[in-house]
């Protein structure tokens, strides 16, 4: 069989690209070497946003594109993305009109898909919205609206929409080589991560959507190519929500070293981040560095009434941004400001850069290029109007969704499972909100294969409370073994592997 399109990489970019192709009626295979969203795409700040800082840099085009995509995502995945109020506390009077004016431009760029107007706030209103903000020297604030989402759950929703559209996806299948007919790429060699077996697949076009690993696949195509990816790490600390005690997020437009810092309520916790520094190599499991912990805690302490310490941290996580070096000398490079699509002389299409918020537009652009490589007539994109799996208008009313809301239209099925099976209504761990029924659901319907898949990405246990997630591992391993037919040694290996991993998420 020859696929129309093989997509390598099951993060935001690969999933968005695969869905774009399948929804245009192409036969698509998506392969991911670990689990969907195991890479950068489960480690974001979880904002679906235009990016206020790009506005400061004068990148109007990127902000407008992202704000448009924000509007589409809030409409098409209302169970996973919702508007969120952000408050910038101001400690100088001039900050209020300065940031206030910038945010008026931000509002205007959203056009018809605006979430509401930004406002300048008095000191007392700022404290009302952020009860635990540092009040010493506080002059007032600015309020604006942006979007928030659950990154790994959105990946699952896109995956399921892709499958609903006739696509085929496989996690734990790694591309270990490309095949060619003459000079043209015509497929890939896949290694099954569970059995070690290798398979060849053929496709009319191969798309490289492997994020920080994009150069590895490009070098399979041509070992003499110059590398284009630079890797930058960003980390977050997860704190109890008491540090902000607010439904609004706190935004710091300029930290001591000139970056943006967010403190965001998420699943009844507070995410604080992020950092940004170059690392030499792409790796699967980046670890937070002591200087990042120190930076985030000391910056947060300036804005919270109570200073957080390392002992307060429930979990931490790090992700690696795929940044594209421009001017790499690749003759067929087509660069845009938000993402990059490169078509190699052999027809390999690489798509990288960009951000979660713009994943749909990236997919659309990539498949337009892929159509040219294959030489088929252009088929118009349908994804702007395509609701994602689980989308329900009912869910849109949740402002701060409690955890089952992320399932959208699947939620009644999970509740039924919880009520009809003994033990399934129990949480995976007393300190976690997640029900045993959710793990069972994920194995049957969401392609979960390992303890990590369930505790890190189908539920977000590892990010909400890494110690509790570690304690839940044996129970989850047993559920997987029962469903997938695994033995005791598999259970033991899974528990040990997950508990070793969870140590990276604990300070």
Q: Which residues bind ligand FAD (CB under 6 A)?
A: 8-14, 31-34, 38-41, 43-47, 174-175, 209-213, 234, 274, 319-322, 352, 354-357
Q: Which residues, at least 6 apart from 480, have a Cβ–Cβ distance to it below 8 Å?
A: 439, 443, 448, 449, 450, 451, 454, 486, 491, 494
Neighbour-count burial of 74, counting CB atoms closer than 10 A to its CB (0-12 exposed, 13-18 middle, 19+ buried): buried
The Cα 242–Cα 500 span in angstroms is 29
CB of 119 to ligand FAD, least distance (A): 23
**Cis amide prior to 134 (ω within 30 degrees):** no
Strand 349-353 to strand 339-343: parallel, antiparallel, or no bridges (unpaired)? Answer: antiparallel
Per DSSP, the three-state class of 141 is strand
* Residue 315 near residue 302 (C-beta atoms within 8 A): no
Strand 2-8 to strand 198-208: parallel, antiparallel, or no bridges (unpaired)? Answer: parallel
DSSP letters along 5-20, please?
A: EEEE--SHHHHHHHHH
* Residue 475 near residue 436 (C-beta atoms within 8 A): yes
CB of 22 to ligand FAD, least distance (A): 17
Q: Which residue is nearest to ligand FAD (CB)?
A: 11
- In terms of CB distance, is 4 or 150 closer to ligand FAD? 150
| Tokens representing residue 118 in the block | 């930004």
CB of 250 to ligand FAD, least distance (A): 15
CB of 317 to ligand FAD, least distance (A): 8
- In terms of CB distance, is 39 or 100 closer to ligand FAD? 39
- In terms of CB distance, is 44 or 314 closer to ligand FAD? 44
Cα-based distances in Å from 85 to 92, 118, 249, 265, 442: 21, 9, 6, 10, 31
- In terms of CB distance, is 12 or 28 closer to ligand FAD? 12
CB of 188 to ligand FAD, least distance (A): 8
* Residue 287 near residue 113 (C-beta atoms within 8 A): no
The Cα 318–Cα 467 span in angstroms is 17
- In terms of CB distance, is 216 or 368 closer to ligand FAD? 216
CB of 421 to ligand FAD, least distance (A): 32
CB of 7 to ligand FAD, least distance (A): 9
- In terms of CB distance, is 347 or 354 closer to ligand FAD? 354
CB of 127 to ligand FAD, least distance (A): 27
CB of 184 to ligand FAD, least distance (A): 20
- In terms of CB distance, is 12 or 263 closer to ligand FAD? 12
- In terms of CB distance, is 366 or 491 closer to ligand FAD? 366
Name the phi and psi angles at 220, rounded to 5.
Answer: -60, -35
The Cα 315–Cα 507 span in angstroms is 7
- In terms of CB distance, is 44 or 142 closer to ligand FAD? 44
Per DSSP, the three-state class of 148 is strand
């Amino acid at each position: 069989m020859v696929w129309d399109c093989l997509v390598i990489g099951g993060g935001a970019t690969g999933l968005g690209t695969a869905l774009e192709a399948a929804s245009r009626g192409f036969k698509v295979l998506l392969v991911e070497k670990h689990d969907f969203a195991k890479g950068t795409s489960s480690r974001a700040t979880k904002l679906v946003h235009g990016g206020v800082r790009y506005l400061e840099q004068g990148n109007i085009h990127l902000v407008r594109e992202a704000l448009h995509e924000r509007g589409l995502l809030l409409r098409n995945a209302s169970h996973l993305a919702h508007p969120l109020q952000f408050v910038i506390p101001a400690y100088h009077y001039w900050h209020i009109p300065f940031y206030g004016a910038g945010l008026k431009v931000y509002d205007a760029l959203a056009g018809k898909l605006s979430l509401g107007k930004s406002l300048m706030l008095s000191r007392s209103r700022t404290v009302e919205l952020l009860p635990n903000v540092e009040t010493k020297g506080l002059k007032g604030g600015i309020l604006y609206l942006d979007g928030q989402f659950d990154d790994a759950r959105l990946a699952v929703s896109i995956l399921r929409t892709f499958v609903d559209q006739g696509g085929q996806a496989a996690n734990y299948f790694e591309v270990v080589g490309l095949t060619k007919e003459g000079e043209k790429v015509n497929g890939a060699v896949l290694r099954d991560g569970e059995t070690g077996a290798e398979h060849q697949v053929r496709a009319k076009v191969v798309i490289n959507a492997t994020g920080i690993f994009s150069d590895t696949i490009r070098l399979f195509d041509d070992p003499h190519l110059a590398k284009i990816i630079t890797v930058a790490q960003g980390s977050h600390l997860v704190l109890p929500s008491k540090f902000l005690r607010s439904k609004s997020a706190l935004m710091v437009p300029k930290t001591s070293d000139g970056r943006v810092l967010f403190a965001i309520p998420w699943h009844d916790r507070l995410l604080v981040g992020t950092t940004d520094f170059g690392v030499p190599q792409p790796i699967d499991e980046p670890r937070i560095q002591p200087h990042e912990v120190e930076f985030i805690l000391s910056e947060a302490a300036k804005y919270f009434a109570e200073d957080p310490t390392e002992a307060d941290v429930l979990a931490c996580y790090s992700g690696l941004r795929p940044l594209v070096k421009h001017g790499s000398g690749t003759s067929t490079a087509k660069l845009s400001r938000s993402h990059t699509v490169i078509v190699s002389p052999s027809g390999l299409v690489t798509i990288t850069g960009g951000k979660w918020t713009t994943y749909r537009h990236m997919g659309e652009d990539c498949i337009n290029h892929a159509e040219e490589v294959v030489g088929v007539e252009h088929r118009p994109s349908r994804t702007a109007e395509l609701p994602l799996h689980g989308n329900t208008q009912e869910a849109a009313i949740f402002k701060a969704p409690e955890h089952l809301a992320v399932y959208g239209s699947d939620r009644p099925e999970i509740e039924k499972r919880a009520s009809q099976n003994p033990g399934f209504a129990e949480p995976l761990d007393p300190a976690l909100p997640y029900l045993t029924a959710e793990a069972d659901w994920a194995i049957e319907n969401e392609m979960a294969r390992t303890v990590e898949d369930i505790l890190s990405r189908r539920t977000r246990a590892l990010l909400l409370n890494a110690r509790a997630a570690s304690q839940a591992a044996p129970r989850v391993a047993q559920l997987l073994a029962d469903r997938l037919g695994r033995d005791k040694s598999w259970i033991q290996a899974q528990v040990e592997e997950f508990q070793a991993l969870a140590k990276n998420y604990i300070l």
